Structure 1
């Protein structure tokens, strides 16, 4: 299989992936990384076209330099795309350093005799550095899912593939000048390595983007738009997982049910926009006080729930009292509210016989007692309670 044939395949593959990443960027406006990757693979097509032009050059040096720089630009776009996707911003100075060293080394690189190990290593070293920088970006992001680890591994393999090329050229023999590159065995091997890395990295990157897009869609479907915390669907799903994990580790769990007192009056007096602001304020207070690891959700209207893994009934009560006091004391004048707004809480601890429904029912019963007893207080579920009457919150709102 000749190098020219493989180069043609590489050009088609680069075009396909440029279109694929472009489609991803078009379908998801937040996928800025895909746009850069599309630009990178599209730029790679020009590298192939320049490779085809070399045999026809009397002086191949200008085209050879152009190939080197265009391919370095291709890798640069790809590194930026990976960094954008993984939200890593500390790569720019390293990109600048690679480009500066590469440009300063150009006279030395292209003055050395064609086909020598020294020239080969100097030529491939910037590509190696770019690929290693891509690995660094992924590692810096902190992502350690299987696809991320696979992408790191493939990037490292691609990096060392660049460094192996001078040795391969030395072993199989290279042409005496750039114009003879396309007819050499080394060119066929080099382009085959390029095709393998081109396809494998692009496929894994697409899988990473599909995975993250799917995760983003799931997160959106589980998030309450107004409050920014989980909606009922999201809360149930995450709470079930938290309960299962707590049972495996023999941890205690408490559920805090919360309800903003007289919320209908707030809406009627100040308008729904102000009521929405109060809900958002209360939700953020719950989320901040609960901290990492807690499952915080808005179940509907002014009703909220917080699942606290690793906490007992006393700790759940302290959490609820803290939130109650802070919410009651929160200044609301900037919202145009000239009175105090309070909330009521019910706290229940998980028992061996409980599922999420049972735990929620007991926390709701405790909340109902808090509202029935005057509101702005915390009530505990100390044992099995009789089922609450139908729609008690509607009656007491």
Structure 2
């Protein structure tokens, strides 16, 4: 009776989580693995239903095989779903190998004596393998946050529990026939272990999906849809962190402020669609001209900003000049623009005690100087440049004049 009660609980739990993951799949388009996991838990409901059907059979072989393979199918669907969520190619070959070996073992497995230790071990091996496979999939994704590591640990624990079940059965004694399994003490213990792992794994998976959905929403809220760069909110958040770290570690850091020249004229002459294309193209040029670790953003309109850590003022100027040259040399005839376009740049370096506001103000001042000087050029915050060494000949001549 105890095992039957736990089986009912497991069925209810499987149903709840099947619905939960189904809702996640329906409401979160990018939760690619949720539907697979929901299907896996739905298979768990069918598996429990077959467990209740087993005592009613005069020949339990067919239903026993159904229970064995249905549960393996449930685990398989969960493996695929977890791989999909983590952006890893599902291990179809490994899963196919597990299924092939399992199907080949079925005729021998279900004709062996029930109390046989070999039979018990063979029965649990596919489940051990699929649980370990989940951990491998998560580790392949290169994610190492606390929830990811917890999921790996739980799958390893689940695999261990499946592995020790044959020894538990040998210690406390298992049912003499498949039909009497549900009334045995071993069934109560086995199903209790299953209930714990069922709930723990599902809760951690839901937390992982909630975490990733929240992170994705944050990224979307900080991304400019036209250029694909960070927007002002995203730039401020990332840049403030980088500047604080740079000041703490003494890492040279520069900011490049950029503005498209005569952008209103481009919109008026060629249309707003062409103007949008120019912005998208300039964003690509900026990305290609700086390092992958740089914080690149479109602050709004035709204004852009880049923060580069590990670069001094001269390196920042070189990067800005590369972007300026590439952009001014580009042909935009595919956008319907038969004129050359250009941009102006201002570069400033992080100084002791700087805030993002201070750095931005100096970069903007250099940008305004580039605009006032004729546009399509790069200017730096001159007062930040180190004093130029006086050539030896100039110093000698100066000394002679002073005599």
TM normalised by structure 1 equals 0.95
Q: Secondary structure at the match of 2:255?
A: strand
- 101-110 or 230-239: which moved more? 101-110
- Give the structure 2 partner of residue 329 of structure 1: 329
- Give the structure 1 partner of residue 359 of structure 2: 359
Deviations 1:170-226 (A, max 9, x none): 111011111111111111110011001000000000000000000011100000000
Deviation at 1:238, TM superposition (A): 0.7
Deviations 1:300-340 (A, max 9, x none): 10000000011100000000000111111112111111121
* Whole-angstrom distance in 2 between the partners of 1:61 and 1:143: 43
* Whole-angstrom distance in 2 between the partners of 1:90 and 1:29: 19
Deviation at 1:90, TM superposition (A): 4.6
Counting only pairs closer than 5 Å after superposition, residues 251-270 of structure 1 correspond to structure 2 as 251-270=251-270
> When the two structures are aligned, how many residues end up with a matched partner?
384
- 94-103 or 143-152: which moved more? 94-103
* Whole-angstrom distance in 2 between the partners of 1:233 and 1:358: 17
Does the CA contact (< 8 Å) of 2:84 and 2:90 recur in 1?
no
Counting only pairs closer than 5 Å after superposition, residues 11-30 of structure 1 correspond to structure 2 as 11-30=11-30
- 182-191 or 284-293: which moved more? 284-293
* Whole-angstrom distance in 2 between the partners of 1:292 and 1:200: 38
- Give the structure 2 partner of residue 216 of structure 1: 216
* Whole-angstrom distance in 1 between the partners of 2:321 and 2:331: 18
- Give the structure 2 partner of residue 121 of structure 1: 121
Does the CA contact (< 8 Å) of 2:298 and 2:305 recur in 1?
yes
Gaps of 5+ in 1: 385-397
* Whole-angstrom distance in 2 between the partners of 1:185 and 1:57: 21
Q: Which runs of 4+ in 1 moved over 6 A?
A: none
Task: Answer yes or no: is 1:190 the counterpart of 2:190.
Answer: yes
Counting only pairs closer than 5 Å after superposition, residues 1-397 of structure 1 correspond to structure 2 as 2-383=2-383
* Whole-angstrom distance in 2 between the partners of 1:333 and 1:138: 46
Deviation at 1:288, TM superposition (A): 2.3
Does the CA contact (< 8 Å) of 2:346 and 2:378 recur in 1?
yes
Does the CA contact (< 8 Å) of 1:115 and 1:177 recur in 2?
no
Deviations 1:31-75 (A, max 9, x none): 121111111111100000000111111000100000011101100
- Give the structure 2 partner of residue 390 of structure 1: none
Does the CA contact (< 8 Å) of 1:257 and 1:305 recur in 2?
yes
Larger Rg: 2
Does the CA contact (< 8 Å) of 1:259 and 1:304 recur in 2?
yes
Does the CA contact (< 8 Å) of 2:232 and 2:298 recur in 1?
yes
* Whole-angstrom distance in 2 between the partners of 1:346 and 1:115: 80
Q: Secondary structure at the match of 1:259?
A: strand
Deviation at 1:257, TM superposition (A): 0.2
* Whole-angstrom distance in 2 between the partners of 1:248 and 1:167: 57
Deviation at 1:249, TM superposition (A): 2.2
Does the CA contact (< 8 Å) of 2:247 and 2:353 recur in 1?
no
Deviation at 1:346, TM superposition (A): 0.2
- Give the structure 1 partner of residue 401 of structure 2: none
Does the CA contact (< 8 Å) of 1:151 and 1:201 recur in 2?
yes
